[in-house]
Amino acid sequence: MLNLFGRRRKSASADGQNEAPQGELPRHVAIIMDGNGRWAHRRGLPRIAGHHAGMKTVREVIRACDDFGIPCLTLYAFSTENWKRPEGEVEYLMRLPEEFFRSEIDELVDRGVQVRFIGDTTKLPTHTQETVRRTLERTKTNDGMTVNFALNYGGRAEVVEAVRAVAREVAAGVLDADALDEDKFAIHLSTHGLPDPDLVIRTSGEVRLSNFLIWQAAYAELWFTDVLWPDFDRDQLRQALTEYTGRMRRFGGLK
Ligand code: FPP
């Protein structure tokens, strides 16, 4: 069965685990994965244990989104502000993509997932950049779900970068400043070609966007949960999607 956006819903598994909520599902879900540190702290574990547990949730959530037929998922894995964390934690976070893709790449390829990265990956350690390069290469021809990892990503930095690109076009006489509109501007964002997020989820009880997709999420529905990211699972996601399908989106107009 095709969903409303032409994407094929997976057939339901015998245990109903694959079953997506009824209704118009988001084309793009974006998640602020928060609460790894608190999850670890509550267990008397080092913060990095929380990040490791969070990585397993990443795997489960990608699987669930793919099973539910969500065409695009963006995960906030490392922000431009996260460099302020202790060196050891940053180092660990920079190793996680390597570990994650080493164990998951075959399944991602089997599922036809195309992996993309948003954020300034040129500032990542060489080994992380190598993982980024290899992952892009392995998945570039896949035509299934898109999974974006936001790595060294900041919404304001992204907008400034886009403004620079537009300014260059104007200076070069390629673009008339008065002809600039939202669509022409958005071409210069790292999410170009993807739908704007319809649903932004944040875990751990914090209620803010933290510089995540600030342009793209202008009309997104927001969903917050107190559940810490390592405890987030398929049922939580289903709950968020169910609530989303019940919301009336008006985009400033009248229904
Ligand atoms: C925020 O929780 C989480 C992060 C800054 C890192 C998120 C990273 C992962 C979930 C793993 C990423 C996996 C891959 C494959 C790249 P926090 O540490 O701020 O939690 P706290 O607010 O409880 O301290």
Is 32 a domain residue?
yes
Is 230 a domain residue?
yes
Q: What are phi and psi of 188, to 5 degrees?
A: -90, 5
**Mean pLDDT, all residues of the chain:** 94
In this predicted model, what pLDDT tens digit does every residue of 31-83 receive, in sequence order? 999 999 999 999 999 999 999 999 999 999 999 999 999 999 999 999 999 99
The pTM of this model reads: 0.93
Is 183 a domain residue?
no
Higher pLDDT, 110 or 9: 110
Q: For residue 255, what pLDDT is reported?
A: 64
User: If pLDDT is split at 50, 70 and 90, which confidence band does 11 have?
Assistant: low
**Which residues partner with 114 through β-bridges?**
146
Q: For residue 6, what pLDDT is reported?
A: 43
Is 86 a domain residue?
yes
Q: How far apart are CA 223 and CA 225, in angstroms?
A: 7
Q: Which two tokens stand for residue 78?
A: 């490392």
Q: Which of 56, 50, 52 is nearest to 35 (CA)?
A: 50
- Domain residues for the domain of 240 are 28-154+197-245
Is 179 a domain residue?
no
In this predicted model, what pLDDT tens digit does every residue of 70-111 receive, in sequence order? 999 999 999 999 999 999 999 999 999 999 999 999 999 999
Q: Which two tokens stand for residue 243?
A: 């609530």
Provide, rounded to the nearest whole percent, the portion of the chain with pLDDT above 70: 94
Q: Which two tokens stand for residue 41?
A: 């702290």
Give me the number of domains the chain comprises.
1
Q: 177 and 200 in contact (C-beta within 8 Å)?
A: no
Is 1 a domain residue?
no
Is 44 a domain residue?
yes
Is pLDDT of 213 > 60?
Answer: yes
**Catalytic site includes residue 106:** no
Q: How far is the CA of 116 from the centre of ligand 1 (A)?
A: 19
For residue 184, give the H/E element and its range.
helix 182-186
Mean pLDDT of 173-186: 97
Is pLDDT of 8 > 70?
Answer: no
Output the residue whose Cα is nearest ligand 1's atom 11: 55
Q: How far apart are CA 166 and CA 215, in angstroms?
A: 16
Q: 72 and 26 in contact (C-beta within 8 Å)?
A: no
Q: For residue 3, what pLDDT is reported?
A: 39
Q: For residue 18, what pLDDT is reported?
A: 82
Q: For residue 251, what pLDDT is reported?
A: 73
CATH number, residue 130:
3.40.1180.10
Q: For residue 188, what pLDDT is reported?
A: 98
Is 251 a domain residue?
no
Q: Which of 91, 229, 232 to mutate to test the pocket of ligand 1 (most atoms within 8 A of CB)?
A: 229
Q: For residue 12, what pLDDT is reported?
A: 62
Q: Tell me the angle at which helices 47-68 and 87-110 cross, rounded to the nearest 10 degrees.
A: 20
Output the residue whose Cα is nearest ligand 1's atom 3: 34
In this predicted model, what pLDDT tens digit does every residue of 233-244 receive, in sequence order? 999 999 999 999
Q: How far is the CA of 89 from the centre of ligand 1 (A)?
A: 10
* Beta strands in 3-145, from DSSP E residues, in sequence order: 28-32, 72-79, 114-118
The number of beta carbons lying within 10 Å of the beta carbon of residue 56 is 12
